[in-house]
Amino acid sequence: MLFSENLPLMNSPRRVANAVCSRVLAAAALPRAALARARIAAFTLGLFVTALVPDATDIMVKLAGFISSAQGQPGAFPKSQSDAVNAYADALSRFKSLLSQRRAQIESKQPLPELPGQALYLARNGIISTYKDLTDALPSKIGRPNKFDIPPAYFDADNEPLMDEYVQLFKIMQAPPLNAQNSETPFDDVVSLGTDIARAKGLDETNARVAGCIALGIFFAETNGNQNIGNARSNIYKGSFQTGTSEDRNGQAKWAAIKSSIAAFDPALVARDKKEEERIGDLDHRFNHWIAVRDGLMNAHAETFLQIPKIVKIFPNPIDQMRVFELIQIIPSPTRSALSSGSFANWRISDPTIMGYLRNNSIFTFGQADRAKTSAIFGEILDAMWLFNDKFQRALTKYSEIKARQND
């Protein structure tokens, strides 16, 4: 999904958009001599976004100004505390305005703009980023914890109702199509598929159960736990694992190669799979929950499941394990290289393009200090994935419920 926190790195239009965005979002880390080129990139991005999102013009104008003025000097903070206060007030006002506008459009059944979530997403990022700048300038502004598990230095808990509204609007805008084929057991399906795929790849039962838990974490990271959704920021990526058509086809082919191995130890699962294949017929496979999850796991994660024993030793915390696999979604090649290095947490990323991909996924995105980083080790990257914490925690809770029910 464009500019989202779950944006995979693929050979697709999404990668092209990422490449453009990385130049802009990395502007804070450029030396003075390169700022002119960064401003050109920002202008190009503005044309791209405003062409897709008609009502995002004002946001992009202000964003471009924010990049050139507030981010122009690496590590530079607002000239005064009042600048930080004003920047945050402007971002908060913009976010509230867009939330009200979208709600009014939906309730009055007005046509929504192309990619109606894009402007909201940028505005949400704006309040988090400017609040971090505010608390850097005025540490006394750091308040109480919030229910989204966002670090208090980045988010004012008084704005929880605004974030609730943000989530609700996206749920409406990304509602599944009428012909989507839901599952009555969507979470159990994810766990079963992840577990059996891992077993077919050669993992023992203990590590295969870890794969099932990780699969559920990916599902929550990609869709917030909602099956068969559309995408308010992309016309390409859809369904329960937010895949493109080529990703789905690739996963389908890989599943065909492994299916007989699974039938040998879990014929019931393969029988269920046959029914779902018959059910979907010639419709878009991504809108059958079972098949979308199956193909998404096979496309991106099945091979990396083999690394689970190593990952568990390095990161015994299940949420850290989910973070590693979400990085397979975002920056697969560097993550696999780090896993093979023997020192995953200390493997350093310094390629500006890769840093851009991370920023496009809400990692080192918020606040000038984070955006000024020109490199990071994987330990720092995992720590910076806090925007996923709430989703991963809910996935872990749901997994525990499933296991308890199965043991009854």
**Using one digit for the tens of pLDDT, what is the confidence trace for 132-154?**
999 999 999 999 999 999 999 99
119 — pLDDT class (breaks 50, 70, 90): very high
Count of domains forming the chain = 2
Residue 70 identity: A
Site of tokens 């794969």: 211
Question: Nearest-5° angle of CA 376, CA 380, CA 385?
Answer: 115
Q: Of 302, 283, 154, which is closest to residue 218 (Cα–Cα)?
A: 302
Host H or E run for residue 221: helix 205-223
Tell me: the pLDDT tens digits for 210-264?
Answer: 999 999 999 999 999 999 999 999 899 999 999 999 999 999 999 999 999 999 9
- Between 385 and 4, residue with greater pLDDT: 385
pLDDT of residue 79: 57
With 80 as the cut, is the pLDDT of residue 57 above it? no
Phi, psi of 337 (to 5 degrees): -65, -40
Task: Find the range with the poorest average confidence among 25-29, 323-327, 370-374, 392-396.
Answer: 25-29
Do 84 and 203 sit in the same domain of this protein?
no
Residues 6 or more apart whose Cβ sits within 8 Å of residue 171: 226
End residue of a domain, out of 173, 204, 219: 173
Q: Are residues 207 and 351 in the same domain?
A: yes
Cα separation, 120 vs 99, whole angstroms: 7
Average pLDDT of span 25-30: 40
**Which one-letter amino acid corresponds to residue 150?**
I
Structure tokens at 46: 């503005």
**Same domain, residue pair 27 and 168:** yes
- DSSP SS3 for 228: coil
290 closest CA partner among 405, 180, 399:
180
User: Do 255 and 306 fall into the same domain?
Assistant: yes
Query: How do residues 291-337 score in pLDDT, each as one tens digit?
Result: 999 999 999 899 999 999 999 999 999 999 999 999 998 898 999 99
Please, which pLDDT band fits residue 18 given cuts at 50, 70 and 90? very low
In a domain, 147, yes or no: yes
Share the mean pLDDT of the chain.
84
DSSP symbol at 56: G
Q: Which domain holds residue 163?
A: 13-173
- Residue 99: which of 75, 116, 114, 83 has the closest Cα? 116
- Shared domain check, 224 and 127: no
Question: Rounded to an integer, what distance in angstroms lies between the CA atom of residue 396 and that of residue 83?
Answer: 41
Boundary (domain end) residue, out of 113, 145, 173? 173
Are 192 and 292 in contact by the 8 Å Cβ rule? The answer is no
Average pLDDT over every residue of 260-274:
97
Per-residue DSSP letters for 317-384?
SHHHHHHHHHHHHHSHHHHHHHHHSS-GGG-EE--HHHHHHHHHTTSS-SSHHHHT---EEHHHHHHT
Averaged pLDDT for residues 17-40 = 40
Please check whether residues 191 and 317 belong to one and the same domain: yes
Q: What's the Rg (C-alpha) of the chain?
A: 21
User: How far out from the chain centre does Cα 66 lie?
Assistant: 24
b or e along 286-306 (b: 16 or more beta carbons within 10 Å of the residue's beta carbon)? bbbbbbbbbbbbbbbbbebbe
Binned at pLDDT 50, 70 and 90, residue 52 comes out as: very low
**DSSP string of 11-46?**
SSHHHHHHHHHHHHHTGGGS-GGGHHHHHHHHHHHH
List C-alpha distances in Å: 22 to 16, 90, 388: 10, 24, 20
> 290: closest CA among 366, 195, 190?
190
241 & 386 share domain: yes
Q: Does 339 lie in the same domain as 386?
A: yes
Same domain, 373 and 227: yes
Q: Count Cα neighbours of 267 within 13 Å in the Cβ-side half-sphere.
A: 1
Last residue of a domain, one of 111, 146, 173: 173
pLDDT band at 188 (very low <50, low <70, confident <90, very high): very high
For 197, half-sphere exposure in the C-beta direction (CA atoms, 13 angstrom radius) is 34
pLDDT interval class at 15 (50, 70, 90)? very low
Give dist(CA 165, CA 163) in Å, integer: 5
- Is 395 found in the same domain as 293? yes
221, part of any domain: yes
Q: Which position has the token pair 């046959």? A: 274
* Same domain, residue pair 307 and 382: yes
- pLDDT of 130 over the 80 cut: yes
The yes-or-no verdict on residue 41 having pLDDT over 50 is: no
Q: What is the pLDDT of residue 33?
A: 37
- The answer to whether residue 180 sits within a structural domain is no
Residues 156 and 201 in one domain: no
Residue 151 near residue 369, CB atoms below 8 Å: no
Exposure class string for 249-276: b at 16+ Cβ within 10 A, else e: ebbbebbeeebebbbeebeebbebbeeb
